[in-house]
Amino acid sequence: MTKRITREDLRALLEGGGVQLVEALPADAFAAEHLPGARNVPDQLSAELAGQVAPDRAAPVVVYCSGPYCNRSKITAAAFARLGYADVRVYPGGKQDWAEAGLAFEGSRSGTSTISGPISGAAAAAGRPA
């Protein structure tokens, strides 16, 4: 069972460290902009990918997507829970809520090029994150 988390509670977790933040959107959306420190799960979550983006099964995992009408975060969060992650939460406001609060993003659209994500497939061959 996954829990919901508010923007305020997410910010507190991020400030305290130890949270594993995951964006459940396609790679191009993640590359354009994502919440600071987020990792990307662009498609279905496998055990291998889960281990890459959230290696600590005991630490909190917070999953988000574009906003309250996007279900990708709920699907990905349920997959983390099925894989045995102990503390999985969904940030339902996602990018929309974060932007409406005037908070900063990372990525090509935001002017920062900090891209953190798994390297796999063709992206690995090109030497860039997936």
CB atoms inside a 10 Å sphere around CB 35: 23
d(CA 71, CA 79): 13
pTM of the model: 0.83
Give the span between the Cα atoms of 25 and 87, in whole angstroms: 21
Domain ranges of the chain: 3-113
**Residue 127: CB partners within 8 Å, gap ≥ 6?**
none
Q: Look at the block and give the residue holding tokens 């939460």.
A: 89
Helix (H) or strand (E) holding 79: helix 72-82
Q: How far is CA 20 from CA 32, 40, 92, 111, in A?
A: 20, 11, 16, 23
How would you write the pLDDT of the chain (130 residues) with one tens digit per residue? 679 999 999 999 999 998 999 999 999 999 999 999 999 999 999 999 999 999 999 999 999 999 999 999 999 999 999 999 999 999 999 999 999 999 999 998 766 544 344 433 333 333 334 3
- CATH superfamily label, 3-113: Rhodanese-like domain (3.40.250.10)
Q: Mention every residue, 6+ apart, whose C-beta is less than 8 A from residue 118.
A: 39, 40, 49, 52, 53, 129, 130
